[in-house]
Chain A
Amino acid sequence: MHRQIAITGAGIISALGVGLEQTYRHLVDGICPIAPLKHLSTSHSDLPCGEVDLSDSQLYDLCREDKGRVISRSSLLGIVAARQAEEDAGLIPGTRVALISGTTVGGMDITERYFKEFGKNPDFSQLIRLHLNGVSTDFIADALSCDVAYTDVISTACSAAANAIAFGAELILSGEYDIVIAGGTECLTKYHLNGFNSLMILDSNPCRPFDASRKGLNLGEGAAFIVMESKKHADMRGARVRALLSGWGNACDAYHQTASSPDGRGALAAMQAALDVAGLSPSDIDYVNAHGTGTENNDLSEGVALMTLFGDKMPYVGSTKCFTGHATSAAGALEAVISILCIQNRFIPANLRFETKDPGLNFCPVTENLKDVQLRHVMSNSFGFGGNDSSLIFSSACSI
């Protein structure tokens, strides 16, 4: 248990709303925000997505940023969530921190908007720089009141934010940084909406994770960041500890660029590695916030891995992508914050729209909200294209 990291702040923006309170309330109310697109300009606007219901202009206002300055929507979302996190943790302005972000699309929204102008119009050509992941993260670093002495960006597709949180934990354990702000951000873009659409894995209706008749995923967007520090450091400055990060694991499926192996070996290895770091056994896990995208392949592969790990003692399992959509590189961060909210409120949200058990699986996800349930340890899974599988374990601050 000596490796535990205290989580002393959190911030989130997603289809569920802005901030911890709104996010939690909408989860409890069971309101599903997955709907046709309003803000992204695309010919596929009929596809249901978990879009943040704010225009770019409204996001600029929320961030108090100058509209004359071109900023990627990913950066704007990231600024909102990271600022909430540093405020929530009560960090004194100027505190030396590291910022680790997970993202893949970065400034792709700007790139696709001005793509035809690049190389022709010098006024727009400089905007190609915003495509770079480091540059899009700089906007977040520069918007914080802390002294961001170190930034890094991790891009492992849909597990990027989970790996950013794990890397942040290593930075703390190394003693290099007392405080790390880690998470991820991703806005919806035409680029990856069309990419996922061309793969034919988008459901034209709201997604149904783990249901036998599931037809695919809905994309989502958002950002979430958590403030991490050693338990000792948190106690020393008298910080409130929301939860602990007690385990993190990473493994590669090494099976196929876009498909998961049928036995979910990468997922299983990542979950086992996280348990090993935490010094926990499968029976200690009370709830798995699954990757659960709603695609036929992922949910079966992940489900088989869960069956192998937990046997007939399956903990509560559910996917919250039925609320947020799949926010790709930010998903691991959104689900980290949701897991922390669950632990603090002794609550598990329903895996919406589940009706029929998959014949290949021996378990059903949580179909109704569970209240007053003891959550000592929650496992959060994030799996990416290319078999980049990661698992995080969050624990109740009262668990030690």
Chain B
Amino acid sequence: MKNKAYIIAASAISAQEPFSRMEDFAALPAEGVFVPCKDPDFKQYINPMAGRRMSGILKRSIAVSKHALSECGIACPDAIITGTGNGCVSDTEAFLTKMVEDGESMLNPSKFICSTPNTIGSQIAISLGCKGFNSTHVDDRFAMEGALQDCLFLLQKGSVKNVLLCTADQMTEGLYRMLNVEGLWKGIPVSEGACAFVLSSSPEGAFAVVEDMVQTRSNPEWELDRMLSSNGLNRDDIDLTVMPEDYKKYCGEFLSASAFGLFCCCQALKNNGARRILLSGESSIGHSYILLSGICTN
């Protein structure tokens, strides 16, 4: 049970209506198009003065984090851990385009400052005044999974009581054009999104439990069985296995889309009471499995 944590809040900004629930989701168009995020009214979450200097990914990350925190009534978490596959793409693209097209002089630092992936976590920290542990995981295939593992370690150590996990990735028209030259996403809508979860070491207010997780580049079957058996389980104990295609029809393709999968699992566990779900992730280099269960309320 070393990898256990309670989920007390989950929010998502995606191509679906802002902060909507699973029962209201509509499948995105199946052809390979870019479907942008549907953003909430950021004024509720971000001071408009500060928001003017922020790219979409930063605004989404702060808004979704504050939405999740308000759901569980926490003003400031003990720690913030971010997962992002490609970081602050629009600011990176803007600085790079200027440098490549206009040469290496008279460059404005503001885009550069906001272009590092950890800008997301640090801007959330600044907006919440959170001085605790703060880290950012950027393995593009498993950014959410790396960040979630970090959350579990932190809670397990007992140095914090709760952690905000925020994931975010964005797509720009320019990047879409650059990437799509090879028809990279045949039949899959390309999108973007930000998700936030509040994890706690205590079951109070929880609607789901992360029982354990494993991520591996080799021997996925062996690693899955090892994880299950270390929790006294076998594959028959899994009620539902959620695969990437199960949720990507609602959120589209983006690097940290598995966080949206985790959001869907949270919704399913909240609605149906105690069940055991395996969130399965797959990439060109490996597999991840997150074992989740519901909370028995009676």
Contacts and interface: CB of A to CB of B under 8 A. Distances in A.
B286 to A, nearest CB: 8
B139 A149 contact: no
B55 interface: no
A156 B120 CA distance: 10
A61 to B, nearest CB: 27
A131 B3 CA distance: 32
Interface string B83-105: 00111000000011101100111
B217 A151 contact: yes
A174 B139 contact: no
A115 B93 CA distance: 10
A254 B80 CA distance: 11
A191 B107 CA distance: 11
B131 A251 contact: yes
B95 A149 contact: no
Interface in A251-267: 251-258, 265-266
A258 B3 CA distance: 34
Interface stretch (B176-184, B237-245, B260-268): B176-184
Interface in A236-255: 250-255
A112 B100 contact: yes
Contact of B96 (A104, A115, A151, A256): A115
Contact of A170 (B108, B153, B180): B153
B150 interface: yes
Contact of B2 (A104, A156, A175, A269): A175
A250 B114 CA distance: 21
Contacts of A366: none
A111 B96 contact: yes
Nearest to A118: B178
A273 B123 CA distance: 22
Interface in B116-145: 116-119, 121-123, 125-126, 128-142
Nearest to A196: B112
Q: Which of A104, A167, A257, A265 has the most CB of B within 10 A?
A: A257
A157 B118 contact: yes
Contacts of A387: 122, 125-126, 134
B140 A134 contact: yes
B179 A128 contact: yes
Contacts, number: 197
Contacts of B87: 155
B162 to A, nearest CB: 15
Interface in A111-140: 111-112, 115-116, 118-120, 122, 125-126, 128, 131-135, 137-138
A193 to B, nearest CB: 8
Contact of A149 (B105, B129, B153, B219): B219
Contacts of A204: none
B153 A251 contact: no
Contacts of A199: 109, 112-113
Contacts of B112: 192, 194-195, 198-199
Given A133-B138, A198-B109, A385-B116, A122 B217 contact: no
B179 A42 contact: no
B133 A385 contact: no
B296 interface: no
A299 B178 CA distance: 41
A163 interface: yes
B133 A250 contact: yes
A151 B95 contact: no
B126 A254 contact: yes
Contacts of B156: 174
B143 to A, nearest CB: 8
Interface string B243-256: 00000000000010
Contacts of B128: 254
Nearest to B216: A149
B146 interface: yes
Contacts of B107: 194-195, 197-198
B13 to A, nearest CB: 21
Contact of A42 (B104, B116, B178): B104
A135 B119 contact: no
A385 B139 contact: no
B113 A134 contact: no
Given A157-B118, A191-B96, A385-B118, A122 B135 contact: no
A190 B99 contact: yes
A255 B215 contact: no
Contacts of B146: 152-154
A266 B131 contact: yes
Contacts of A265: 131
Contact of A120 (B2, B153, B157, B181): B181
A134 B86 CA distance: 10
Contact of B132 (A118, A192, A251, A384): A251
Contacts of A151: 139, 217, 285
Given A128-B179, A174-B2, A265-B131, 12 more contacts: A104-B118, A118-B179, A153-B146, A167-B150, A194-B95, A195-B115, A254-B131, A256-B126, A266-B131, A386-B123, A386-B134, A388-B134
Which 5 residue pairs are nearest across A and B when measured between Cβ atoms? A386-B122, A195-B112, A252-B134, A119-B178, A118-B178
7 contacts: A43-B105, A134-B85, A153-B137, A154-B138, A250-B133, A252-B131, A273-B159
